[in-house]
A = this chain, B = another copy of it.
Amino acid sequence: MASRYELFYWPGIPGRGEFVRLAFEEAAVAYRDVAREPGGVDEMIALQESGKGRPASFAPPFLRHGRIVVGQTSNILLYLGDRLRLAPATEAGRSWTHQIQLTIADAVVEAHDTHHPLGGDFYYEDQKPEAARRAALFRKSRIPLFLDWFERILASNAKGGRYLVGARLTYADLSLFQLVEGLRYAFPKAMRRAEKNCPLIVAHQGRVAERPRLAAYLASPRRIPFNEHGIFRHYPELDS
């Protein structure tokens, strides 16, 4: 019998766990979302600490699949890519997909740091002026730079540019979808401007959202709404 997939991530926020959930949902593969079950957070923390054994992961999310435990969002997706048929078959294609994923992960860190520029140990309320300065630069310079890079990838894809890599959907497409959804939630005004220069990303966004399994998932209670405890937070004072 094949091992089941068990995802460990904080309940209540989409956060980095959502990038993994999207892969499972698109692949229609059953998975345990452990920390959303009763007692699951304790199980997650116990596994992360691991006593004197090998630590599972520096932080959630991590994945358990039989005897293997995989941490770091992008590394989890690398592991799942082949298994869920969400990665190209060639090494060059897999490497390019992973490179795009890691760049999306960089953008996610920067999006988080707009509301926590001094680090996660201070509350947002204790770093509001700093957040305002960092968010202004993020809106003005970083969002356009990141989006332009993804737009160029779609534009230069010799297989038609429906997806980022080759002719088929990969986990990088799901992650770009989640990044853009998060940016739209957090920075609706800035994104309305920025998206005028990214028609291919806008079309890509709709294409992913309309995939039947994704659409069903997004409409289900399994999909956790963005909120002000996660990575992408809508603080109106940080958008303009």
Contacts and interface: CB of A to CB of B under 8 A. Distances in A.
A210 interface: no
Q: How many copies does the complex hold?
A: 2
Contact of A52 (B103, B133, B155): B155
B137 A118 contact: yes
Interface string A36-62: 000000000000001011110110000
Contact of A58 (B50, B79, B127, B149): B149
Contacts of A141: 121
Interface in A89-128: 92, 95, 98-99, 102-103, 106, 109-110, 113, 117-119, 121-122, 127
A64 interface: no
Contact of A119 (B55, B58, B134): B134
A68 interface: yes
A98 B78 CA distance: 10
B55 A153 contact: yes
A122 B102 contact: no
B53 A103 contact: no
A71 interface: yes
Given A92-B68, A99-B70, A99-B75, A142 B156 contact: no
Contacts of A92: 68
